[in-house]
Amino acid sequence: MRDLVQPVTDWVPLADPRADNRSLRSELAAAVASVIEGNNYILGPQVSAFETALATSIGAAGAVGVGTGTDALVLAMLGAGIGAGDEVVAPSHTAGATIAAIRMINAVPVLVDVDAQTFCIDAEAVDAAIGPRVKAIIAVHLYGHPADLPRLNAIADRHNVVLMEDCAQAQGASLDGRPVGTAGQAGCFSFYPTKNLGAIGDGGAVTSDDPEFLARIRAMRTYGWKKAQYAELPNGRCSRLDEVQAAILSVKLASLKTWNERRGRVAAAYGQAFADLPLICPTERPGARHAYHLYVVRSAKRDALEVALRARGIRTGRHYPWPAHAQPALVEGARIPAPLSVTDTLQREILSLPMFGAMTDAQVERTIAAVRDAHRVV
C-alpha cells in the first residue's frame, strides 16, 4: 500500500529538554542569578549542596560532581585502581561513551551480550567472560531499566572484581526498592541535557558509600590535589561540575520524581495501546522500577516503521545505531569472548519512540495514533 501523508510541520520530538526547563523557568533563572551574585564560580556552595542532595536522593554516603558522565566513569575506574592493560567487562549494546571511558584509561574492554528482555548486560555472559586480567564490570542500566545487580554483585564478589554502575540513563530507577547508584563501588551519573535529570550543558557525578574512594575522586577531579596546589594522587584530571549547572540541577532534582512518574505513565499508555501490534514493548522485571529514559520497542519491520513514523511527524531514534563491537575505534584491541547474537539482533529491530518528562497528552495520543496507523502500511 502506498503511504500517502501530508508534509510534516509539527513534529513530536524524541526528547524535549526545553519543555522540562520551561516549566521551571523562573526558579532556574533565580538559581543562575544566585550563582552570578555569589561570585564563587568553581566548586563552591552550589556544587556541595547538589552533591549532598544527589547522595541523599539515592541513599548513598556521598557524591562528587564532575564534568560529564564519561568523566564519572573514567574517574571511578581510576579511583578504583583500574588502569592500562586491565580488562573491564561491559555490554557492547550501550552508549559508546561507556566503552570510550574504558579506552580513555587504556584499559581493555571485554564486550559481552545483553539480556533480550531488559537490554541490560547479561549476568551469565559476564560470569563466563571473567579471566585473570579482569578488574571491573560495568553494569549499564540501559534505557533506564536496572541491570541484574544482585547477580552481578555476587559474580563480582566471587571473582574479586569491582562492580561499577553506569547510571547515566537510569536516574530514579531502583531494584527491590534500592535506587541504582548504591549497589557497587560507584554509581556514575550523566546530566547531559536529555537525561532524566538534565543540566543546561554538561555534567556528571560519581556516587559511593566508600568515603576513601570518594575522597580520591574528589582529589582526582582537580589534578590529584589533596590540598590546594599540591598534587598528590596520580592520574589527576580537570573535570569539575560547575556552579551554574549544579544550581540548575538542584532545582530540577526536586521535580525528578514527578517527571519520572510521567515517563512511567507514558510507557504504560504506549504498552496498552500497542498490545495487539507486532511490536515487543519494554517491560519491567519483578522488583524493578524503570526510569524510562528511552522507550525502545523491537519491530521486525523497524526500517519501514521508522520511515512511516517520520512521514507522520514522529521523531524516532536508534539507540544505538552501532554496537561497540561494530565501531572501529571502540572494538580495536577489545576482547570478545562469545558471540554477541542478542546485540546483533537488537541492532536490526530497535526503535526509540518519543519519551520525556514534559510530554503532553496530545503528544502521547499523536504518537500512539501514528504508530497504529503506520502498521497499516509497514
Q: Which is nearer to ligand PLP, 169 or 208 (CB)?
A: 169
Residue 304 CA to residue 323 CA, distance in Å, equals 21
Handedness of CA 124, 125, 129, 130 (dihedral sign): negative
Size of the site for ligand PLP (CB under 6 A): 15
Residues with Cβ within 8 Å of 189's Cβ and at least 6 positions away in sequence, in order, are 54, 69, 72, 167, 168, 171, 181, 197, 204, 205, 206, 207
Give the x/- contact pattern for ligand PLP in 96-125, rule: CB under 6 A: -xx---------------------------
Q: Which is nearer to ligand PLP, 55 or 168 (CB)?
A: 168
| Nearest distance from C-beta of residue 98 to ligand PLP, angstroms | 5
The reply to whether 68 sits near ligand PLP by the rule CB under 6 A is yes
| Nearest distance from C-beta of residue 56 to ligand PLP, angstroms | 22
- Pick the piece of the chain touching ligand PLP (CB under 6 A) from 89-97, 145-153, 208-216, 320-328: 89-97
DSSP reduced 3-state for 190? strand
DSSP letters spanning 220-254: HTBTTEEETTEE-STT--B---BHHHHHHHHHHHT
Q: Which is nearer to ligand PLP, 294 or 358 (CB)?
A: 294
DSSP reduced 3-state for 44? coil
Residue whose entry in the numeric block shows the C-alpha cell 513514523: 309
In this structure, are residues 249 and 51 in contact, taking their beta carbons and an 8 Å threshold?
no
Tell me which of 14, 140, 324, 370 binds ligand PLP, using CB under 6 A. Answer: 140
**Residue 303 cell numbers, joined:** 526500517
The reply to whether 363 sits near ligand PLP by the rule CB under 6 A is no
Give the x/- contact pattern for ligand PLP in 240-279, rule: CB under 6 A: ----------------------------------------
Helix ranges (H only) for the chain are: 17-22, 25-38, 45-58, 69-79, 96-104, 123-129, 149-159, 211-220, 243-253, 256-273, 302-311, 328-331, 341-349, 361-374
Q: Which is nearer to ligand PLP, 74 or 155 (CB)?
A: 74
Residue 141 CA to residue 118 CA, distance in Å, equals 9
In this structure, are residues 334 and 111 in contact, taking their beta carbons and an 8 Å threshold?
yes
**Residue 317 cell numbers, joined:** 531514534
Tell me which of 21, 46, 57, 70 binds ligand PLP, using CB under 6 A. Answer: 70
| Nearest distance from C-beta of residue 225 to ligand PLP, angstroms | 23
Name residues contacting ligand PLP, limited to 157-196 (CB under 6 A): 166, 168-169, 190, 192
| Nearest distance from C-beta of residue 189 to ligand PLP, angstroms | 8
The reply to whether 292 sits near ligand PLP by the rule CB under 6 A is no
Q: Which amino acid is present at 287?
A: G
Q: Which is nearer to ligand PLP, 274 or 292 (CB)?
A: 292
Tell me which of 109, 181, 187, 204 binds ligand PLP, using CB under 6 A. Answer: 204
Residue 52 CA to residue 257 CA, distance in Å, equals 17
Binding site for ligand PLP (CB under 6 A): 68-70, 94-95, 97-98, 140, 166, 168-169, 190, 192, 202, 204
